Amino acid sequence: MHRPEHLLALADRCETASKPDRTLDADIYEALGFNVRRKPSHLVGRRTPPGGIYQEGSLWKTLGSVSANIDVAVGLLRQKAPDWRWSLQSMAVDDTATFQALVAECQANGTIGALALCAAMLRAFARARSAPASAAEHDGR
């Protein structure tokens, strides 16, 4: 998994994205520790999955559209942090729907639910990654 700064920058990208993005999907998978092979832009065909593939154990699987599909985002969250509590709600502001997600006490917003959940999940992982270091510094180690 990447450094907290990288995870926070990726969370910011999720919050500012106006629509799902396959490059963002691959970046999220990589940030969560998966080995990703991106689909080369010059290879367009039925046999190459959109976005690319990722390695899970010894198997290669089609990269899920985590920035577009709430089921994929929830699946990744449950796989990587099964004990974390999360919530997602829709907010209507001036005829515009936005979503607010909370993952392990880290909050984020997004134009669609999957993006909001990804942003909150990435913020929670960044906080979890920086917690041991800051605890050690606080203890004087």
Distance CA 42, CA 58 (A): 27
pLDDT at 116: 97
Question: Which carries the bigger pLDDT value, residue 92 or residue 50?
Answer: 92
Lowest mean per-residue pLDDT among 8-12, 29-33, 105-109, 132-136: 132-136
Residue-range definition of the domain harbouring residue 33: 4-138
CATH of the domain at 42: 3.30.2120.10
Q: How confident is the model at residue 49 (pLDDT cuts 50, 70, 90)?
A: low
pLDDT at 53: 83
Lowest mean per-residue pLDDT among 22-26, 36-40, 66-70: 36-40
With beta carbons less than 8 A apart as the criterion, state whether 64 and 25 touch. Answer: yes
Q: How far apart are the first and last CA of the chain?
A: 24
pLDDT at 114: 97
Among residues 23, 123, 122, the alpha carbon closest in space to that of 65 is found at: 23
Q: How confident is the model at residue 137 (pLDDT cuts 50, 70, 90)?
A: very low
Q: How many structural domains comprise the chain?
A: 1
pLDDT at 94: 75
pTM: 0.84
pLDDT at 105: 95
